Structure 1
C-alpha cells in the first residue's frame, strides 16, 4: 500500500491516480474526511492529517510500502519558514512509521541553494528529508505545463499569453500526468539509498511554444506577451498573491532568466510522453468544464 500526500493538488492527484491505475492499494492523506469522497469512490483509503502534525502524519504513514511526499505550494506566509516546518515534521514522522521507501517531489534547479526563489525552498526540503527513508528518491520535476492554466482565461478572452518567461527561452516543462506516472513507477521500483531523478516532457519547450499550442487548440492566433520585470510584483498583488509568496515566485522567474532552471550533471534524467498539445488541450477543457472530472 502506498501513501500519497497532496492528492487534491496537481501532482499528488496524478500520483494517486497512476498508482490506482497500476492496481496498487493507495491511501491518500487529506486535511478533512469530506475531501476524500472522490478517492473513496476510486477505492482509495483516506487518512486525515496535516503535514505539520508529525504525530498524525506518522499514523498516516504506518504500514506503507512507500510514500509520495511533498512540500505544499506556498499560498500564504513565509515559504521558507513553512518549508522548515513541513520538512521537520515529515523527517520526524517517516522514521517513526518505519517508512521503507519515499519519493519526494522537488524541482529541476533544486541543486541551487539560492538565486532561484521558491525553488530554493526545495533545496532546503531535500536537505531536511535526506535519509527520510532507507530508499529515497528526490523527483525533480520540470515546470508544470498545467501552471499555464493560471493565465488560460486571458488567453481565451484576449488571444495573448502573458508570460514571466522570455518567449524564446526553452526550459524543461512537463505535464503533471507524466509526474504522476513517473512517481508511481519509481515507487514500485526496488532500490536502496538516495537517488535524484530529473523529469521533463518529451522535449524542452518555450512560452512561445505554449502560445502556439494554445493557438492550435483554440483555432486562432495567440501571441506570447512578456510581462516586464518592473510590472510583475504589481500584477501578482492585483491577483491577491501575498507579498512573501510573490517575492519567492518572482525570484524563481529571475533564476529561470539566469539559466539556473537546468538539469544537474550526475542525476538520472527521464522524459515523459505527454505532448505539449495534449497538456494544453486538457488545460482548455478544464477551463470550459471546471466541475468535470477530466482524468
Structure 2
C-alpha cells in the first residue's frame, strides 16, 4: 500500500495515477471528500484526514509501506503546526519509507522565506527513524496561472522575478508527481536519506513566459517586473499577511541568485513537459500559432 497525503493536488494526483498504472494499491488521503471522485475512478482507496489532525492522519497512514507527504504553503504558524502534525503521525504509524515533497532552497540555513519552512520541515523529518526521500521541487510552471488573466487583459505579464530576463528553475507539477512515483517504486535500498532535486528540462525567464503566452494568444505579451514595494500588497490579495511575507522573502532570495537552487553537488531529476505545454491548459481561449 502506497499512501499519498494531499492526493487531490496536481502533484499528489499525478503520483497516485502513476502508481495505479504500475498496478500497486494506493490510499489517497484528502481533507475534502468532494475531491475524491477522480481518485476513486482510478482505483484509489480514500481516507479523510485534516493535515493538522495527528490522530486521523495516523489512522489514514496505518499499514502503509510508503507514504508521500506534501506541505501546503501557508502562513508560518499554520505550516509549523502542519509539520509537527505530519511528523507526529509518521512517528506513530511508522511506515517503511517516507517521501516528502520539499522545496528548492531548503538546504539554506539563513531565513529566505518559504524555503526556510521547508528547511524546518526537512530537519523535523530527519528525526524519524525510517528511510526518507526529500524531493525538492523547483517553482511550478502552473503558478503563472494566477497572473495569466492580467496578461490576457492588458498584454502585460506581472513578474516578481527581477530582472525579467533572468532564468530560473521551474517544473510542471504533474512531472514532479511522476518523478515522485518513480522514486517510490524504485527506492535506493542503500541509503537512509536521499535528497533529489526536480526541475524541467530547461530553465526559463519571465520573458520566456511572456513570449510563450504571446504564442498561445496570437498577440504580444510583455513581462514587467512588479516594483518590490508592491509585493506584499499583491500577495495579500490571495494570502494571509504571514504567508505573503514568506513570498516576499522568497523572491528577494530568487532575485539575489544562487540561493533558491540546487544544493552544491545535489542530485537532479528532470521533467519533460515544456513551458508551452504546461501553460496551454491555463489559456482556454488560446490560439496557438505554432
TM-score normalised by L of structure 2: 0.92
Of stretches 34-43 and 105-114 in structure 1, the one that deviates more from structure 2 is 34-43
| Match of residue 249, structure 1, among 231, 247, 250 | 247
| Counterpart Cα distance in 2 of 1:284 and 1:23 | 34
Q: Which secondary structure state, in structure 2, belongs to the residue aligned with residue 67 of structure 1?
A: strand
Q: Which secondary structure state, in structure 2, belongs to the residue aligned with residue 204 of structure 1?
A: coil
| Counterpart Cα distance in 2 of 1:193 and 1:36 | 33
Structure 1, unpaired ranges of 5+: 289-295
Contact 2:13 2:39 in 1 (8 A): no
- Cα-to-partner distance string for 1:184-210 (whole Å, 9 max, x where unaligned): 000111224001100110011111111
Which residue does 1:291 correspond to in 2? none
| Counterpart Cα distance in 1 of 2:219 and 2:279 | 14
| Counterpart Cα distance in 2 of 1:85 and 1:46 | 24
| Match of residue 89, structure 1, among 80, 85, 107 | 85
Which residue does 1:153 correspond to in 2? 149
Shift of 1:247: 0.8
Contact 1:144 1:173 in 2 (8 A): yes
Contact 1:102 1:133 in 2 (8 A): no
Contact 1:102 1:132 in 2 (8 A): no
| Counterpart Cα distance in 1 of 2:228 and 2:18 | 38
Shift of 1:82: 2.3
Which residue does 2:174 correspond to in 1? 177
TM-score normalised by L of structure 1: 0.90
Shift of 1:240: 4.2
RMSD value, Cα: 1.7
Q: Which secondary structure state, in structure 2, belongs to the residue aligned with residue 273 of structure 1?
A: coil
| Counterpart Cα distance in 2 of 1:54 and 1:179 | 26
- Cα-to-partner distance string for 1:143-188 (whole Å, 9 max, x where unaligned): 1000000111111222211110021111110000210100000011
With over 3 angstroms needed to count, the CA separation of the structure-2 counterparts of 1:116 and 1:188, relative to structure 1, is same
With over 3 angstroms needed to count, the CA separation of the structure-2 counterparts of 1:41 and 1:47, relative to structure 1, is same
| Match of residue 187, structure 1, among 184, 189, 200 | 184
1:122 to 2:121 alignment: no
Structure 1 segments, 4+ long, off by >4 Å, are none
Contact 2:73 2:243 in 1 (8 A): no
| Match of residue 106, structure 2, among 103, 110, 124 | 110
Q: What number of residue pairs does the alignment pair up?
A: 282
- Cα-to-partner distance string for 1:112-155 (whole Å, 9 max, x where unaligned): 13332111100000111114362211000111000000111111
| Counterpart Cα distance in 2 of 1:23 and 1:160 | 46
Structure 2, unpaired ranges of 5+: none
